[in-house]
Structure 1
Amino acid sequence: MHDLRWIREAPEDFDAAMARRSLSPLSSEVLELDARRRGMQTELQEMQARRNEASKEIGQKKRAGESADTLMAEVAQLKDRMAAVEEEERGVGDALDRLLAGLPNALAAEVPDGPDESANEVLRVQGDKPQFDFAPKEHFELGEGLGGLDFEAAAKLSGSRFVVIKGQVARLHRALAQFMLDLHTREHGYLEVQPPLLVRDHVLFGTGQLPKFGEDQFRTEEGYWLIPTAEVPLTNLVAEEILDQADLPLRFTAHTPCFRSEAGAAGRDTRGMLRQHQFEKVELVSITLPEQSEAEHERMTACAEEVLKRLGLHYRVVVLASGDTGFGARKTYDLEVWLPGQGAYREISSCSNTGAFQARRMKARYRPEGEKGTRFLHSLNGSGVAVGRALIAVLETYQQADGSIRVPEALQPYLGGQEHIAAS
């Protein structure tokens, strides 16, 4: 959500910020609704003041034994007029709120301009691509060969974009999540949380998934939404709160299932586990002071990178261009892991700084030390990392010519010292 004071004071800057998001100028529409609402609020205040004054005059006339009929008629008219203006003011306010709620965050100045992912900029590359003396297979071939990925069984149960993970591959998947949680809690200072997987409308609104992206979510008949990411409940832990500056930053992590309808993804990544309706992630969320959020963004990205480094995976870090940056983000770094079987880099983590955008929607504030007033917090989120995609990367990176998988050293303690996974 945007600060109306900024739009009033710098409408040209607001329009320029929206232009980077490929939106036409909107400041005049916003300011016209804002002016109408403020005018009605002023009118209501004036009518209320006159109503109070007239009521006093009625009392005075009655005590003096004089007729107060004219004043009483005026008060009745004011009451009717106030009710009409209040209703109109609510309608204009709702229209303004809907307009602002549908607008994306303003991008950080350093975000590169470009229409889509083709304009993303590579910042750094970690490690060397793994080399093979045989043609590497894709993860679904390896998983099926190990008896650990069953897409046919999942299709019978749920349809497309699901998988049944079994046996040693399921154990490897679980080990990955445990490894990530231990790393982030023991070494990176995140507090582990187990949040609800079903949330109400206002929670998705707070992080920006509603109202614009409702079709991307799954909703129950009872009105709950299945979370698309643990970012949603974790960030909302501070909704409508006023925190003390001394308590910041807050850092949360959670391992949860995530659910996405993948609306608009027809025909994309239909084979394997890359794009599914149900998957698991270890999520990172930070709540910070405004002046700390840029440094926190770098820190969070480094925490996610450490997962890939310890797993020995080759990856690169890219900063997303304006046309590829998500609705709520000011700036986003993607970690793209190399998948030898596919011969391509694929996103495995996305770390975003949303600034005060989500905090305004959630009404999440802090009280600066020594000040009476409050300010909006800054929130950040990132994958630390996507468990299913980490499984894909491990299977493809550590595959052997016979179809077995060498277990990365970092995961061996979670598998009882097991060094290889072979077909059962």
Structure 2
Amino acid sequence: MLDMELIRKDREAVATALAKRLDPAEVNRALDEIQRLDQERRALITEIDAERQRRKAEARAYAQAKRAGREPEPVAPEAERKQLAELESQLDEVQSRLRTTMSELPNLPADDIVGGGKEANRVIRTFGEPPAIEQVRDHVELSRALGLVDHERGVKLGGSGFWMYTGLGARLEWALVNWLIEQNIKAGYEFLLPPHLLLDTAGFAAGQFPKFYDDVYHLDRQSAPRGQFLLPTAETAILGAYQDEILETAKLPLKVFAYTPCYRREAAGSHSDERGTVRGHQFNKVEIFQFTLPEQADTALAEMVAHVESLVEALGLHHQTSLLAAGDASAAMRKTLDIEVWMPSTGKYKEVSSVSWGGDYQARRAAIRYREPGGKQTRFVHTLNGSALATSRLFPAILEQFQQPDGSVLVPEVLRDKLGTDRLTPVR
């Protein structure tokens, strides 16, 4: 959520930044409504405070007259007493509308982020070269030939958009997860295993609700009166776990990570670059997260990007790192860099990690703060998150980039001990 004080002091700067993501007319309408509600809220607060002070003065005068043996002035009639309750009710309604309107605004893109969508993204680094493959087979064909993924039984179990890893495929998926866990621990992140069912408050805190409320799987209200949903990413759970907390300044940056399956309502992926395990309703992901002081955020972002790049490099995968334009990044983030692996079958790069800096946007929604040693005032932390990594994208990239002329696929060196082989061979 944006800082109301910033909107009051420099609306023009806020409008200019938001225009990188939204239509300027839409931005101005939203800011007009926010400022109108803010003024109404402040006027009501002033009126309520004045009414409360008047009543306190009346009560003091009444008590003093009684003590002095004088006849006290009559107190306010019942109608006037009810007026305060009505004013407080109006304030609650205005504050609720203001909060809702504020919550629908995206974060302000960082100053160095350009407007536009995917067409405005900028590649800033590339690792390696695309592998030279004479006859490219796609990952769906390879996974079937190698007996790694049963797409048909996955659909039988869960419907369209689901799959089932089998045999060495299941072991390769689990080897990837375990290796990523080990690497993130070595990088200084604390391992968490959060619940997969989260309260709606966690979705709001992460900035996914209300705008993307329909993109996740919800329990019905009879089963979950407080509102619960299946987590779409561990980012939501990690952030939600620290809601309403004041973190110890000495322990910042706080670095944690989690492994979870992720559950999402994804649009049908019939395009060639979204087949197989590339896009589905359930997939595995390891997510890293940092809570930092504002002045630590730049260093943390660079560190997280470098760490994710090192993981993809260790797997030997050709990839690139792109700085996203405002319209292609998550609405809750100020800056996002995507690490994208090369898919030979489509001649395109596919994102396996988005590393993002959210500023204090999520922390405001979640009320996650810190207090300077010896200080009284609290400030909001900054949040950063990144996939490290999404295995459902790594899996097909490994199959396609390491495929061999004889139909086999070489296993990345870092996974060979876990898998017990250096090569996946076709099932006879």
Q: Which range, TM-score by smaller chain?
A: over 0.9
Kept after mapping to 2: 8 A contact 1:207/1:358: yes
Which whole-Å CA distance do the structure 2 matches of 1:64 and 1:113 have between them?
72
In the other structure, the counterpart of 1:259 is: 263
Give 1:56 deviation, angstroms: 2.2
Q: Is 1:271 the equivalent of 2:270?
A: no
Which whole-Å CA distance do the structure 2 matches of 1:254 and 1:126 have between them?
26
In the other structure, the counterpart of 1:118 is: 119
Q: Is 1:389 the equivalent of 2:393?
A: yes
In the other structure, the counterpart of 1:15 is: 15
What secondary structure is seen at the aligned counterpart in 2 of 1:383?
strand
Moved more, 325-334 or 21-30: 21-30
Given the alignment, which residue of 35, 48, 53 partners 2:57?
A: 53
What secondary structure is seen at the aligned counterpart in 1 of 2:124?
strand
Give 1:402 deviation, angstroms: 2.6
Kept after mapping to 2: 8 A contact 1:47/1:78: no
Give 1:344 deviation, angstroms: 1.1
Which whole-Å CA distance do the structure 1 matches of 2:270 and 2:41 have between them?
46
In the other structure, the counterpart of 2:422 is: 419
In the other structure, the counterpart of 1:193 is: 192
The code of the aligned residue for 2:130 comes to K
Q: Is 1:85 the equivalent of 2:84?
A: no
Moved more, 328-337 or 229-238: 229-238
In the other structure, the counterpart of 2:218 is: 219
Give 1:423 deviation, angstroms: 2.2
The code of the aligned residue for 2:129 comes to D
Q: Deviations over 1:232-281 (max 9, x none)?
A: 1112232111112111111111111000011x556555631111000000
The code of the aligned residue for 2:95 comes to G
Kept after mapping to 2: 8 A contact 1:51/1:75: no
Given the alignment, which residue of 296, 307, 313 partners 2:311?
A: 307
What secondary structure is seen at the aligned counterpart in 2 of 1:129?
coil
What secondary structure is seen at the aligned counterpart in 1 of 2:74?
helix
Which whole-Å CA distance do the structure 2 matches of 1:85 and 1:41 have between them?
9
In the other structure, the counterpart of 1:407 is: 411
Which whole-Å CA distance do the structure 2 matches of 1:334 and 1:409 have between them?
24
In the other structure, the counterpart of 1:235 is: 239
The code of the aligned residue for 1:143 comes to S
In the other structure, the counterpart of 1:150 is: 150
In structure 1, the gaps of 5 or more residues are: none
Kept after mapping to 2: 8 A contact 1:367/1:374: yes
Structure 1 residues 339-354: aligned runs within 5 Å: 339-354=343-358
Which whole-Å CA distance do the structure 1 matches of 2:16 and 2:115 have between them?
12
Give 1:412 deviation, angstroms: 0.8
In the other structure, the counterpart of 2:164 is: 164
Which whole-Å CA distance do the structure 2 matches of 1:122 and 1:271 have between them?
25
Structure 1 residues 50 and 254: CA distance shift in structure 2, 3 A: same
The code of the aligned residue for 1:15 comes to A
Which whole-Å CA distance do the structure 1 matches of 2:369 and 2:82 have between them?
38
What secondary structure is seen at the aligned counterpart in 2 of 1:218?
coil
Q: Deviations over 1:8-58 (max 9, x none)?
A: 111111111221112431332211110110110111111011111112223
Given the alignment, which residue of 72, 75, 78 partners 1:76?
A: 78
Which whole-Å CA distance do the structure 2 matches of 1:176 and 1:38 have between them?
54
Q: Deviations over 1:287-328 (max 9, x none)?
A: 101011111111111111111100000000000011111110
Give 1:120 deviation, angstroms: 0.2
In the other structure, the counterpart of 2:100 is: 98
Which whole-Å CA distance do the structure 1 matches of 2:231 and 2:265 have between them?
11
Kept after mapping to 2: 8 A contact 1:146/1:422: yes
Kept after mapping to 2: 8 A contact 1:117/1:323: yes
In the other structure, the counterpart of 1:362 is: 366
Kept after mapping to 1: 8 A contact 2:20/2:114: no
Structure 1 residues 265 and 38: CA distance shift in structure 2, 3 A: farther
Kept after mapping to 1: 8 A contact 2:65/2:71: yes
In the other structure, the counterpart of 2:251 is: 247
Which whole-Å CA distance do the structure 1 matches of 2:327 and 2:380 have between them?
26
Percent pairwise identity: 39
TM-score scaled to structure 1, two decimals? 0.95
Give 1:368 deviation, angstroms: 1.6
Give aligned pairs, total: 417
Which whole-Å CA distance do the structure 2 matches of 1:210 and 1:287 have between them?
21
Moved more, 269-278 or 226-235: 269-278
In the other structure, the counterpart of 1:131 is: 132
What secondary structure is seen at the aligned counterpart in 1 of 2:333?
coil
Given the alignment, which residue of 44, 50, 54 partners 2:48?
A: 44
In the other structure, the counterpart of 2:292 is: 288
Kept after mapping to 1: 8 A contact 2:200/2:228: yes
TM-score scaled to structure 2, two decimals? 0.94
Kept after mapping to 1: 8 A contact 2:269/2:279: no
Which whole-Å CA distance do the structure 1 matches of 2:184 and 2:77 have between them?
65
Kept after mapping to 1: 8 A contact 2:269/2:275: no
